[in-house]
Copies of this chain bind each other. A is one copy, B any other.
């Protein structure tokens, strides 16, 4: 049943040409006559010839594929994020006919080992990393190996590699400012674990937002939580059940924000009226929370596409430091951020 796979040798014999000639014809070399190129092309589609990628990549030394390293510990709620980014990446790679690998990992050591294998196995020509830590060994590893890579996010020392990032600080600053303009002054911050560099940046944005508004930084209304709904919920619970609860929450992810909304609901509070909430990510699901979630959005499909383009450029020889893109998040106004109530809800 399995019709034998047809190789370049078959094709060459069929055309009474040499394998080398066929190969050069297929790959657009100049030293092949137009007539021959046409014959080869035609016969190739006729016989359904597709070059064996393993052989091709072995010969050329180019893997014609890249890997996306999926961040560990990500909430399943946040997975549209991953999925959309993959789509964007694939779009970029497809234009060249390259393939996309994904790599999950169970632990940090596992991840290091898998990356090492990706680098040395020759299966991919480059990798894209996500959510760098403040000090990220994966990045060091890739740099030391001289292997092409781009990072979705920056880490502490980001001058000499390629990254694509949202201006986290500015985004949170914007969110805080928005709440301040709505009259809020007691604004809580739900941060992410600080080994993530973006968490650090967002915290900075929170601080600078307060400062711009002339508000004091009060660490008692800052919670550090994982990027999960439950974590957001318990963080909000802490704050809401305290003596002098905040009137607004700025969160580090939509998933956290969803948890905050749940905590409010539990307590009979209405988001956007009694307490304001701003999320981060712009997940589509935010349209359907009750009330719909105001959030800072970053378009993931486009991110993926740009990451792909950057990585390809670097593989082609561009200097990594030459490809650094900083985007800004957009404030998506929905209904969870409203004006401060005259009298508090207590």
Give the chain B neighbours of A86 by CB distance below 8 A: 70, 102, 104
Contacts of A289 in B (CB 8 A): 288-290
Stretch at the interface among A52-60, A193-201, A234-242: A52-60
The answer to whether B53 touches A55, judged by C-beta atoms less than 8 angstroms apart, is no
Q: In the complex the two chains form, what is the Cα distance from A52 to B288 in whole Å?
A: 48
Chain B contacts of A258 at CB under 8 A? 285, 288
Residues in B neighbouring A65, C-beta threshold 8 A? 101, 123
Q: How does the 8 Å CB contact mask read for A1-20 relative to B, with 1 for contact and 0 for none? A: 11101100000000000000
A144 within 8 A of B: yes
- Give residues of chain A (1-49) contacting chain B, Cβ–Cβ below 8 Å: 1-3, 5-6, 48-49
Q: Which residues of B contact A266 (CB under 8 A)?
A: none
- Residues on the B chain within 8 Å of A2, using CB: 145-147
Decide yes or no whether A265 CB sits under 8 A from chain B.
yes
Number of chain A residues whose Cβ lies closer than 8 Å to a Cβ of chain B: 58
User: Which residues of chain B come closer than 8 Å to A229, judged between CB atoms?
Assistant: 284, 287-288
| CB of A216 closer than 8 Å to a CB of B | no
Contact A101 B104 (CB under 8 A): no
Is A159 on the interface with B (CB-CB < 8 A)?
no
Give chain B residues whose Cβ lies under 8 Å from the Cβ of A102. 86, 90, 100-102
Write out the residue numbers on chain B whose beta carbons fall within 8 Å of the beta carbon of A84: 76, 79
| Cβ contacts under 8 Å, A58 to chain B | 52, 54-55, 58
The segment from A113-121, A126-134, A203-211 found at the interface with B is A113-121
| Interface 1/0 per residue, A80-101 and B, CB below 8 Å | 1011101100110010000111
Give A258-301 interface residues, CB cut-off 8 Å to B.
258, 261-262, 265, 284-285, 287-290
- Other than the given A54-B55, A80-B83, A86-B104, 6 more pairs (CB < 8 A) read A49-B120, A53-B121, A54-B123, A82-B83, A86-B102, A90-B104
Interface residues of A (CB under 8 A from B): 1-3, 5-6, 48-55, 57-58, 63, 65, 70, 76-77, 79-80, 82-84, 86-87, 90-91, 94, 99-104, 116-117, 120-123, 143-147, 229, 258, 261-262, 265, 284-285, 287-290
A-B contact pairs, 13 of them (CB 8 A): A1-B143, A1-B146, A52-B122, A53-B123, A65-B101, A70-B87, A76-B80, A76-B84, A79-B79, A83-B83, A261-B288, A262-B288, A289-B289
